[in-house]
Structure 1
Amino acid sequence: MTPTRYLHGFGNEFESEALPGALPIGQNSPQRCPYGLYAEQLSGSAFTAPRHLSRRSWLYRIRPSVLHIREPKPISQPLWKTAPCRHVSAPFGQLRWSASAVAGDAGSLIEGMRTIVTAGDCGLRIGMAAHLYLAARSMEDDYFYDADGELLIVPQLGELRIFTEFGLIDCVPGEICVIPRGVKFRVELSAGASRGYVCENYGAPFTLPYRGVIGANGLANPRDFFAPTAAFEDKEKPCRFTIKSGGAFYRCEIDHSPLDVVAWHGNYAPYKYDLRKFCPIGALRFDHPDPSIFTVLTSPSDEAGVGNVDVAIFPPRWQVAEHSFRPPWYHLNIMSEFMGLIYGRYDAKPSGFEPGGMSLHNAMLPHGPDAEAFARASREELVPAKIDDGLAFMFESRLPFYPTAFALSLDTLQKDYADCWSGLRRQFTGEGP
């Protein structure tokens, strides 16, 4: 297996070449590029965006991308839905699913994409969709890019080797990988079948959250994000190339690999991050802090301080708060929350929320610890204790999530989810403290 090498940093101006001298020096588009390559710019922002928001990369490739879109034919991908998608009457209330098995005929990661919820409007570039992927085979001569949004991939079972235009990324459970809008890729399964989650972000590209009074350190550090070094496929054989645009899917038959970028430079590139390198911030004396302190990435909206999509995690960490109810408190909030469990257990739901499972709590729907977690947390001795047996994540949006017909038809949907709170009995005594 080809070893993977990475460039360190988030949003940096990188440069990388797979052949010596392939990267032009001094100008982006010379009259003749080295090695007979073609210069092509990939823009992830408007040309006139402020410099600190400008995202673009120059690619030096064997063939330009105009040769990749050849006689596109519409194809059906019926279980991958795009917002707005409100064709189903969903039950009102909290929802939770157990893990879904990966069938032997599940297909590739792209073929195995199953939309669970959507929010917003892809055409207006707001909102997102949360997908479950079930993959049983590698994409050998199949390639894909998403023109509707960037893809944040969260493996939960099995390892992925992601071949992108920019180079190779290996991604295992406990890591995430972000493929920007318009970047071509294929995925190999490095260790058999794979299952995981995908956030398809229609809005502004993910960036690091504003840390405010936290200061320069803590949460996700920029140096822990890795972009790939240049690597290319010089493959001359029949290949299939699929594009998602406007919620529709198109397939082209081409005679070569589209992953033929020999050199590149810029700040619009795929990247990965190891969630276990996240530096949690917490309460050192009392009270359970807001979950926003666990934000890894955010897609900003036009409303200051309110995310189009926030990606948060609940990693291993120390609990030291005294005279406090340590798990998350019962709450209703303006944001909608889609959660998944990568491994271990979630401290607020020790039973019923399993690795590979999912839950949905829409805006202003009450939720919080189940009866078992409440009883334990109310009685336990409040000595320093470490939560080190689980890793959960949350996609949070200011927009409401709409479950799909597929999600509501799953036999893993827990019809009795709300019963996890039925053991919360009246404790009111009428007496003072």
Structure 2
Amino acid sequence: MPYYTKLGQVPAKRHVQFRRPDGALYSEEVFGTEGFVGPTSTLYHIHPPTQVHGWKPLYSTKPEYVETDIMRMRHLKSMPMEPAGDPVTGRVVLFGNADCEMAVCAPKQPMKYHFKNAMGDECIFIHFGRGTVHTSFGTLEFHEKDYIVIPKGVIYRLVFDKPKKGEPNPRFLLIETANGSHIGPPPRYVSKQTAQFLEHSPYCERDLRVPELPLTYDEKGEYEVRIKARDCVHSYTYDYHPLDTVGWDGCYYPYIFNVDDFAPIVGKLHMPPPIHQTFEAHNFVICSFCPRVLDFHPDAIPVPYNHSNLDSDEVLYYVEGNYKARKGIEVGSLTLHPQGIPHGPHPGTVEASIGAKETTELAVMCDTFRPLFPTRAALEIDDLNYPASWQGEHFPHAAGSHAANGAAKATGNGRGNGMKSGRGKTKGKGRRKPSTVVNTWT
């Protein structure tokens, strides 16, 4: 995290005597990264965090990737996936590589244990549901459209409230680091001198929700903590409640950012995807496509231009909005557009977008700088017709209508291409009135 925070009781200096009411010392824990030179927090426990027993391996978490030699567009429909497991065991990895893993989870059961990911940071996007994250740094209340960033090593338990009548069951998207790097705001958003969010950043400190009280659980008993490490989940037993922190301070802690607090950057002409960037880690970025006003040049085309991902694979998770810009896309869909294959608007969507003033889309994008591979679970929900959905004439024209130098030949009616410069409207009768709302997925 980019700034200092404190919660609970801490001594005036680090590494000095800090005693419990009974006179015994609290147990100080330096919770740091990058060999003591990265972001760090210092926690004070009632009990030594080293007192554990009963360790045993439970199950492997190493993804099995398939079709690693096949490069094509993919569309996964995740909503039909049946609820299963709890917020940890119910995670279904769909795409991944050596840098990150992407999973969808629709939990059916509550967590009866606490969990620690000792392999990577987690970015959990809450699609449906609300509840509480109980962590060793305090409590975080969450709801729909929240990004919950849980750094590596944080002990937590994710508890969903029971849905009210008519509400969908809980569901979230998980993006997890697999290369030991950390998820945080892009460096260009943050001052190198003060670690303060800069004026051009689409969000700032005021938008982040940090842990709050209750913080301390002073309880005895047998408590299971499951730890993900070495591509396996291991079970450990504590003789006291693992969330026994009485206070902490530092720059390394879990936090929440709600996507509705993202302030989209707009422009006169179509803006590139980096303006939607929300977080990043080594070799991948996370972006938020939010409702916003569209381009205001009189001849602007609101939907994206065709583009080639020469250095990255792109996954979009569709949260809400009108998906007419993409054929067959629905809530909970994931699309993968791999590097090397151009992609862009589907047939008919470019002309249909002209004149639109705003978009109601909401989608989460993860761009990776190494190829992504699907799992067997992804193949089970893969729409095999999606790669052919760009077929058909986007802009019907008669063959031979262009000269060898690329110039359009005269049509014989003196109107050229039928467009009047500066107006953005096609001459001729019968052209439909453009919609004022359109969706603009890349």
TM-score category of the 2 structures, normalised to the smaller one: 0.7 to 0.9
The alpha-carbon distance between structure 1 residues 98 and 30, as it changes in their structure 2 partners (threshold 3 A), is: same
Counterpart of 1:111? 89
Q: How far apart, in 2, do the equivalents of 1:254 and 1:372 lie?
A: 60
Q: How far apart, in 1, do the equivalents of 2:295 and 2:315 lie?
A: 27
Is 1:423 the counterpart of 2:404? The answer is no
Counterpart of 1:264? 248
Counterpart of 1:237? 221
Q: How far apart, in 2, do the equivalents of 1:42 and 1:128 lie?
A: 23
Is 1:30 the counterpart of 2:16? The answer is yes
The CA deviation string for residues 280-318 of structure 1, in whole angstroms up to 9 with x for no partner, is 11222x3x121001001122x4xxxxxx22110110100
Amino acid at match of 1:258: P
Match of 1:151 among 122, 126, 135: 122
The CA deviation string for residues 352-408 of structure 1, in whole angstroms up to 9 with x for no partner, is 22222211112122222222423412xx3x26x1213x3101011111111112211
Q: How far apart, in 2, do the equivalents of 1:267 and 1:215 lie?
A: 18
The alpha-carbon distance between structure 1 residues 211 and 15, as it changes in their structure 2 partners (threshold 3 A), is: closer
Counterpart of 1:81? 62
State the TM-score, normalized to the length of structure 2: 0.81
Give the percent of matched residue pairs that are identical in Structure 1 and Structure 2. Answer: 23
State the TM-score, normalized to the length of structure 1: 0.82
Is 1:295 the counterpart of 2:271? The answer is no
Match of 2:314 among 319, 334, 337: 337
SS in 2 for 1:376: helix
Q: How far apart, in 2, do the equivalents of 1:119 and 1:171 lie?
A: 29
Q: How far apart, in 2, do the equivalents of 1:158 and 1:406 lie?
A: 23
CA RMSD of aligned residues (A): 2.3
Alignment of 1:6-45 (within 5 A): 11-17=2-8, 22-25=9-12, 27-35=13-21, 36=24, 37-45=26-34
Counterpart of 2:239? 255
Query: What are structure 1's unaligned runs of at least 5 residues?
Result: 1-9, 121-126, 302-307
Query: What are structure 2's unaligned runs of at least 5 residues?
Result: 164-168, 191-196, 403-407, 410-416, 418-442
Alignment of 1:126-141 (within 5 A): 127-139=99-111, 141=112
Amino acid at match of 2:130: E
Q: How far apart, in 2, do the equivalents of 1:130 and 1:43 lie?
A: 25
Counterpart of 2:342? 366
SS in 2 for 1:72: strand
Is 1:98 the counterpart of 2:54? The answer is no
Alignment of 1:88-237 (within 5 A): 88-89=67-68, 91-101=70-80, 103=82, 106-120=84-98, 127-139=99-111, 141-192=112-163, 193-201=169-177, 202-209=179-186, 210-211=188-189, 216-230=199-213, 231-237=215-221
Q: How far apart, in 1, do the equivalents of 2:385 and 2:170 lie?
A: 28
Question: Is the 1:23–1:34 contact (alpha carbons within 8 Å) kept by the matching residues of 2?
Answer: no
Q: How far apart, in 2, do the equivalents of 1:177 and 1:310 lie?
A: 16
User: Deviation of residue 215 (structure 1)?
Assistant: 6.3
Size of the aligned set, in residue pairs, is 383
The alpha-carbon distance between structure 1 residues 211 and 23, as it changes in their structure 2 partners (threshold 3 A), is: closer
